[in-house]
Amino acid sequence: MGYVIQGETGDWELVIGLEVHAQVTSKSKLFSGAATSFGAEPNTEVSLVDAAMPGMLPVINEYCVEQAIRTGLGLKAQINKTSVFARKNYFYADLPQGYQISQYDQPIVGEGTIILDMKDGSTRTIGIERLHLEQDAGKSLHDQHPQKSFIDLNRAGTALMEIVSKPDMRSPEEAAAYVTKLRSILRYLGTCDGNMAEGSMRCDINVSVRKAGEPYRTRAEIKNVNSIRFMFQAIEYEARRQIDIYEEGGEVVQETRLYDATKGETRSMRSKENAHDYRYFPDPDLLPLVLSDEEIASIKSTLPELPDEKKERFMRDYQLNAYDAGVLVADQESAHFFESVAKGRDPKLAANWVMGDFFGALNRLGKEISDPPVTAANLGALVDLIADNTLSGRLAKEVFELMVETGKAPGDIVEEKGLRQVTDTGAIEASIAEVLAANPDKVAEYRSGKDKLFGFFVGQVMKATAGKANPALVNEILKKQLG
C-alpha cells in the first residue's frame, strides 16, 4: 500500500514538507500604514518605513497579529503568548532594509494539525510545525527596459504568515490535498484570500526520498511554486532526480532549487543557507509581542464553523458520505448553497443535484457560485418536483437545462412545456399493450429466454410517451405483462 517510486534498487518512499507563505488579508502592511491593494501602480503604496528611510521605526499592525492568531486557532495550534520579531539579514535587491523582519526561535504560533480529505473519502492528519509573521519583499521588474531593472516596492512590508508543516506527507496527492485544505481553512477564517495566481499563497516544497523504514535523508527545497499542478510536476521530477543520484552512487546536496514550468524540471538556485548564515537577532526596534488570555479568547469566540466541523455536521445531519460532505464544505458558499437546497428535503437527492448537474453547469459556463446560473430556491423546487413524482430523473435533467437557459422556475417550465411525467397506470398500460402488439416476434424471443430484450421494450414505451412515462412504473408493468 501507499505511494512508492520504483527504482533500480527497489522501492523508494517520498518525504514532503511544505512551507506556505500566505499573505495576510489586511488593508495595511505589517509595520506601516501603507495600503496593500493588488495591481496598484508601482511604488504608490510605499511608506517611508517600507522604503527603509534612515530613522524610520516599524509599528506593529494589531490587525495582522489578530489574523495570525485566528489562523493559529483555525489550525488547532498552540498560540504563544510571547513571541519575538527578529532580523533575518541578507542582501536582496528589492528589500531596502537589508534584512527581513521575521520571527525566529519564538514564533507567534506553535504546533497544530491539518486533516487532509483524500479523494477516496479517507483522511490523513498532517502536523503543523509553526506559523510566524514576517514582511514580504518588493518586486524587481526586468522586462521594462533593455539595460535596467526597475523596483516596485508596493509589496515590500506586506504581512505574510509563513506556515511550516512537519515532513508528514508521502505523495504528491497528499501535498496537493494539504494546500487545498489549508487554503480552504484560510478562506473560511478570512485571513488570506488564497489566490495562488496573484501570489497570495506561495509554496516552498521540501522533498527527500528514502527506503521504507530509513531515517530522513537530505532534502532539497523547491522555491515559490504557485499552482497545485506545478507542485505535482515539481515533486515527481525532484524525487526521480534524487533517486537517480543515489542509485548511481552519489549524494544529494542540501540546496534551494527552482521549478521551471516550461521545461518541467527543477534546477539549482543556490546552496542552502543554514539559519546561522542569516545572523538572526531580536529586532531592537520592536518589543516582544505579548498576548493575554482574554485577547486570545475573544478572537476564538469569533471563529466561524470550520470545514472539518461542518463536514462532520453534514455527515451526521444529512447522512452524507465523507467524500460528498468534503466536497460540499470545501468553500463556505458551496456549503451554504447546499444547505439552502437541502432544507426540508431529501439531503442525498439535494447533494446529488448540487454536486452533479449544478456544479457541472458552473464549470461549463465558467461561473462562480456567487453568481449561480440557477438559484438555490429554484434548484430546491426542482428537487420537490422529483420527490412528488411530477418529474422523473430524466425529465428533471431536461427541465434543469431549461432553467439554466431561461432562469425560469421549474414549475413554470413544466407547465409551459408539458413536461409532467405520466404516472397514470392506465395510460402506461395502454402504451405497453401497443408496443407489445407491434412486436410479437420480440415478445416471443423474450419469453423464450432472451432477457436482454427487456431494455428494448422500455425504450419503445419511453419513445411512445415522449419520455414522460414514469420509468419505475414502466418497468413494473412491463415485467407483469411479459411474465
- Rounded distance, CA 156 to CA 139, Å? 8
| Contact yes or no for 311/326 (Cβ under 8 A) | yes
User: Which of 20, 34, 31, 153 is closest to 93 using CA atoms?
Assistant: 153
Radius of gyration of the chain (CA): 30
Q: Which residues here bind Mn ion, judged by CB under 5 A?
A: 162
Rounded to an integer, what distance in angstroms lies between the CA atom of residue 452 and that of residue 447?
11
